[in-house]
């Protein structure tokens, strides 16, 4: 066997002719030492010296004599797909782009770790030889993992074996979640996964550590952004013991504080319009901005934001603890089985109701502070709350509590249903993708959140009017009950009156989601918390 390498004649700079040099495969190691490596810069010629790209790849392929032609072709095709700019080598930009567009089930954030696994220590890019070595070694390790999962040794991994394997790693999955994992790996529609399918699916995941792989399946193949606002994150016993849980809660708290602060002007405009805009006193966003600025200046747009940020910590902590306890009760009732999606929705909504009950006085304070006039907080927040108590009694801190409580369930249920529907439509339309990318997931989350808000907004409007009734002269004659408020609004303002102030509410959705996502990811990484 021999390979052909093109070399120029050593006759002068203008001579263009080339000759063919045949190399005996027995002496391939000797010739390989004369092949110069790819240059470091992406803006310089790929090959230095006398070896073309094709000849270099042929030489590297010949070093792996045990590769079949089919295997060699498969590796070459994969290498060409990852080499996005087609310069003969793979760098961090190539990998990031390829993971985003071709393998959305592997997060693009894995690109640096994957590059480190593939490349040599003295290089910042991956050659064809490096990639071939990685594929051969990684597939061998994946075969060992597959053998451990395949408990009955039939060459196929099914739902029960995935569940059993994950349980050994400390992660309990129900049938629905285990089936979701199998479906994403299964290429033949057999409801099971063979070795080749398993290797193809996990080839670009840069680890074969069993615990890391199970965490990857759990966190990346069963993602549900649509539930983030209502259902707290599930943490395994290992994550609870290691302290990962509090890092995620801190990251979520910081993200929430930044998001709420940046979008506080939208929130104050919304509250003002909910209370003061009527059929006879029509106010728009622009006119409201002029009124608020004239009354209190630029700082007035952040009134009520302080207590809105302060309540994040107790609300998140109480929701997390309640959710964990309710999950345990449901699992005990079911005999230890994992919760389904809708059981998690019930547990999350119940935890939300408990946390809202505990911090609801702060919600009323936020509304009152957002509607206050300049000079009404000169003696501090505690004095402001004391004045409310002296004038209206303890019941004033729970005005609008019932519509607030009722609004949790339709928001969470519709949010989740729409989110899952959009995800399903995306994967059906873009059949080459098994899972939407990050931007698509954010779009699904934004749309589902918007639909949830449309369904629950009338309840939020009634809640706000009940909270502000005592300090709003225009509303003092209005009913003091939820049903009475609904009747009053429909009779005097019509159906559209139930959606007063919804424009600024929609305006803040996209910036709020984007800021929250970016800050959460940054803080999570700084705290050293793995993706959850």
Helix (H) or strand (E) segment spanning residue 182: helix 175-185
DSSP three-state, residue 18: strand
pLDDT at 355: 85
Residues 454-476 pLDDT 10s: 888 899 999 999 998 888 777 77
Instruction: Kindly report the length of the chain.
Output: 532
89 known ligand binder: yes
Residues of the chain with CATH 1.10.238.10: 67-220
Third-level CATH fold of 67-220: Recoverin; domain 1 (1.10.238)
156 known ligand binder: yes
- Domain 254-527: CATH architecture, name and number where available: Alpha/alpha barrel (1.50)
Strand partners, 21: 5
154 known ligand binder: yes
Instruction: Find out whether 519 and 253 touch, Cβ atoms under 8 Å.
Output: no
85 known ligand binder: yes
pLDDT at 486: 92
Instruction: Find out whether 248 and 233 touch, Cβ atoms under 8 Å.
Output: yes
pLDDT at 44: 45
493 known ligand binder: no
Nearest to 108 by CA among 117, 118, 119, 95: 95
- Give 10-residue mean pLDDT values along the chain (532 residues): 46 43 54 50 43 53 64 85 82 80 72 85 85 88 89 88 81 73 81 87 81 66 36 52 65 85 92 86 89 90 89 80 82 73 76 86 90 78 87 90 83 68 75 63 73 85 91 79 92 90 84 80 73 43
Residues in Cβ contact with 447 at an 8 Å cutoff, skipping those fewer than 6 apart: 418, 419, 422
CA atoms of 127 and 38, how far apart (whole Å): 8
CA atoms of 64 and 119, how far apart (whole Å): 17
The DSSP symbol for 126 reads B
Residues of the chain with CATH 1.50.40.10: 254-527
224 known ligand binder: no
70 known ligand binder: no
CA atoms of 119 and 127, how far apart (whole Å): 7
94 known ligand binder: yes
Q: What is the pTM of this model?
A: 0.53
């Amino acid at each position: 066997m021999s390979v052909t390498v093109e070399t120029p004649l050593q006759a002068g700079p203008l001579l263009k002719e080339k000759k063919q040099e045949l190399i005996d495969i027995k002496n391939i190691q000797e010739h390989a030492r004369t092949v110069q490596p790819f240059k470091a810069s992406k803006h310089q010629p790929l090959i230095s010296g006398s070896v073309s790209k094709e000849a270099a790849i042929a030489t590297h392929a010949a070093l792996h004599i045990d590769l079949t032609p089919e295997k060699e072709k498969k590796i070459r095709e994969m290498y060409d797909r990852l080499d996005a700019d087609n310069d003969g080598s793979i760098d961090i930009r190539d990998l990031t782009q390829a993971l985003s567009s071709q393998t959305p089930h592997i997060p693009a954030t894995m690109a640096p770790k994957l590059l480190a696994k593939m490349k040599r220590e003295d290089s910042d890019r991956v050659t064809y030889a490096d990639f071939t070595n990685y594929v051969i070694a990684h597939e061998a390790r994946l075969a060992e993992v597959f053998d451990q999962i395949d408990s009955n040794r039939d060459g196929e991994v099914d739902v029960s074996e995935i569940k059993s394997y994950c349980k050994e790693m400390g992660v309990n999955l129900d049938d629905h979640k285990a089936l979701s994992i199998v479906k994403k790996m299964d290429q033949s529609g057999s409801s099971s996964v063979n070795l080749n399918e398993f290797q193809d699916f996990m080839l670009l995941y840069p680890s074969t550590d069993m615990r890391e792989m199970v965490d990857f399946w759990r966190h990346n193949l069963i993602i549900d952004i649509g539930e983030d606002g209502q259902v707290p994150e599930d943490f395994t016993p290992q994550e609870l013991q290691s302290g990962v849980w509090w890092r995620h809660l801190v990251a979520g708290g910081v993200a929430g504080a930044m998001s709420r602060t940046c979008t506080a002007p939208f929130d104050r405009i919304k509250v003002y319009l909910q209370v003061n805009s009527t059929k006879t006193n029509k106010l728009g966003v622009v006119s409201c901005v002029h009124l608020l600025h004239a009354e209190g200046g630029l700082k007035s747009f952040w009134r009520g934001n302080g207590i809105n940020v302060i309540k994040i910590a107790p609300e998140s902590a109480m929701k997390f603890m309640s959710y964990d306890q309710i999950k345990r009760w449901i699992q005990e009732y079911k005999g230890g089985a994992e919760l389904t999606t809708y059981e998690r929705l019930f547990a999350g909504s119940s935890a939300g109701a408990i946390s809202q009950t505990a911090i609801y006085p702060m919600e009323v304070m936020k509304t009152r502070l957002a509607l206050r006039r300049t000079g009404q907080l000169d003696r501090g927040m505690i004095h402001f709350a004391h004045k409310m108590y002296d004038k209206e009694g303890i019941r004033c801190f729970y005005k609008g509590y019932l519509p607030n409580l009722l609004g949790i369930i339709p928001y969470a249920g519709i949010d989740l249903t729409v989110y899952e529907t959009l995800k399903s439509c995306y994967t059906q339309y873009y059949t080459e993708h098994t899972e939407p990318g990050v931007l698509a997931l954010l779009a699904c989350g934004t749309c589902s959140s918007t639909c949830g808000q449309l369904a629950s907004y009338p309840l939020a409007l009634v809640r706000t009017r009940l909270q502000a009734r005592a300090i709003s002269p225009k509303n003092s004659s209005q009913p003091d009950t939820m049903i009475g408020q609904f009747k009053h609004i429909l009779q005097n303002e019509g159906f559209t009156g139930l959606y007063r102030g919804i424009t600024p509410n929609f305006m803040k959705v996209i910036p709020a989601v984007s800021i929250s996502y970016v800050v959460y990811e940054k803080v999570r990484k700084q705290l050293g918390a793995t993706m959850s």
